[in-house]
């Protein structure tokens, strides 16, 4: 069980005195009250300015350890930066474009949130921060422009995945982000090619394979990855030569 220790005083060595405690060498230096408890067989401490604060923390430690919700001190120190490598390395089979999107999202997150402890993540501030994100292109000569909704959503997805990973590893008890905290991707402004434009595209194709690709996509409207030969759950058919 946890207990509170007064760092500014010590037991009076004079057993004949009525005064039970006397000033220690630390009298007036630093925080006075220390909470001491065991975590995984090791002594762990936290210090506080007031006795009330120390006793309140002691109670939280004891209740948390009893009901299994206590976050150990080592896990409470885990940052977003600590989770990036394990998280991205856990996705070896994702498409290169998806990985690139995650890396771009992390480029926005790392400078601001990389050193932030997961346990201290402020979910109330995050949506406002994401809303103000702007482009981060290397050697960009023009003024940064607001980030698109798709890129902002990717940032939210990465943070949400980190928080889910933290819950799984008992770094935090629950994910503080709600569904409404992640930006929704706005529909893209699309325009169908005119017949003449499709004909020009086919005429400019450098190879038969490229011509086939240019013909399949406008006729079917499928995503670019499909005719290139990527597999799906419902079909393993590929377009030969692409």
Q: What is the pLDDT of residue 237?
A: 37
Does 186 fall in a domain?
no
Kindly tell me if the per-residue pLDDT of 235 is higher than 80. Answer: no
Task: Single out the residue of 108, 146, 148 nearest to residue 126, CA to CA.
Answer: 108
Average pLDDT over residues 49-66: 87
| 173 and 112 inside one domain | yes
Last residue of a domain, one of 19, 46, 70: 70
pLDDT tens string 163-186: 999 998 888 889 999 878 888 876
Domain extent at residue 9: 3-70
Last residue of a domain, one of 70, 101, 116: 70
Average pLDDT over residues 121-141: 85
The number of CA neighbours under 13 Å toward the Cβ of 174 is 3
| 63 and 119 inside one domain | no
| 96 and 160 inside one domain | yes
List of E strands, the chain: 3-6, 9-11, 21-23, 33-39, 42-48
| 121 and 170 inside one domain | yes
Of residues 187 and 241, more confidently modeled: 187
| 125 and 167 inside one domain | yes
Whole-angstrom Cα distance, residue 85 to residue 91? 10
Domain count, the chain: 3
CB atoms closer than 10 angstroms to residue 126: 20
| 116 and 155 inside one domain | yes
| 149 and 214 inside one domain | no
| 92 and 172 inside one domain | yes
Does 155 fall in a domain?
yes
C-alpha angle 79-85-89 in degrees, rounded to nearest 5 = 145
Q: What is the pLDDT of residue 125?
A: 93
Q: What is the pLDDT of residue 65?
A: 74
Q: What is the DSSP letter of 236?
A: -
Last residue of a domain, one of 161, 181, 201: 181
Does 61 fall in a domain?
yes
Does 75 fall in a domain?
no
Task: Single out the residue of 15, 58, 13, 68 nearest to residue 33, CA to CA.
Answer: 58
Kindly tell me if the per-residue pLDDT of 238 is higher than 50. Answer: no
Q: What is the pLDDT of residue 222?
A: 79
Whole-angstrom Cα distance, residue 217 to residue 32? 72
pLDDT band at 214 (very low <50, low <70, confident <90, very high): confident
Contacts of 30 (CB under 8 A, 6+ apart): 7, 47
Average pLDDT over residues 8-13: 92
| β-pair type (42-48, 3-6) | unpaired
CATH of the domain at 135: 1.10.150
Task: Single out the residue of 188, 178, 106, 104 nearest to residue 149, CA to CA.
Answer: 188
Average pLDDT over residues 47-59: 92
pLDDT tens string 30-42: 999 999 988 777 8
pLDDT tens string 139-159: 666 777 888 899 999 999 999
Contacts of 112 (CB under 8 A, 6+ apart): 129
Kindly tell me if the per-residue pLDDT of 15 is higher than 90. Answer: no
* % residues pLDDT > 90 (the chain): 43
Burial 186-204 (b: 16+ CB within 10 A, else e): eeeeeeeeeeeebeebeee
Least confident of 8-17, 68-77, 86-95, 216-225: 68-77
Q: What is the pLDDT of residue 242?
A: 36
Q: What is the pLDDT of residue 6?
A: 94
| 90 and 168 inside one domain | yes
| 155 and 174 inside one domain | yes
* % residues pLDDT > 70 (the chain): 86
Average pLDDT over residues 57-84: 81
pLDDT band at 137 (very low <50, low <70, confident <90, very high): low
First to last CA, the chain: 66
Say if CB 104 and CB 154 are below 8 A apart: yes
Say if CB 2 and CB 30 are below 8 A apart: no
Q: What is the pLDDT of residue 223?
A: 72
Q: What is the pLDDT of residue 4?
A: 93
């Amino acid at each position: 069980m946890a207990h509170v220790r007064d760092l500014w005083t010590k037991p009076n060595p004079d057993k004949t005195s009525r005064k039970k405690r006397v000033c220690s060498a630390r009298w007036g230096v630093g925080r006075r009250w220390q909470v001491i408890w065991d975590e995984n067989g090791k002594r762990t401490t936290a210090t506080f300015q007031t006795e009330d604060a120390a006793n309140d923390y002691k109670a939280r430690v004891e209740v948390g350890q009893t009901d299994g919700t206590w976050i150990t001190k080592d896990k409470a120190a885990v940052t977003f930066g600590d989770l990036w490598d394990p998280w991205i390395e856990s996705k070896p089979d994702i498409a290169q474009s998806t990985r690139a999107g995650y890396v771009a999202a992390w480029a926005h997150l790392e400078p601001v949130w990389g050193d932030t402890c997961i346990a201290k993540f402020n979910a109330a501030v995050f949506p406002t921060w994401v809303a103000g994100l702007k482009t981060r292109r290397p050697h960009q000569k023009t003024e940064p422009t607001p980030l698109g909704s798709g890129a902002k959503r990717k940032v939210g997805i990465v943070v949400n995945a980190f928080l889910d990973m933290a819950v799984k590893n008992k770094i935090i008890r629950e994910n503080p982000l709600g569904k409404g905290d992640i930006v929704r991707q706005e529909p893209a402004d699309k325009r169908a090619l005119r017949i003449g434009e499709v004909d020009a595209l086919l005429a400019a194709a450098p190879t038969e394979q490229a011509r086939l690709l240019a013909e399949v996509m406008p006729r079917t409207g499928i995503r670019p990855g499909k005719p290139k030969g990527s597999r799906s759950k419902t079909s393993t058919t590929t377009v030969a030569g692409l």
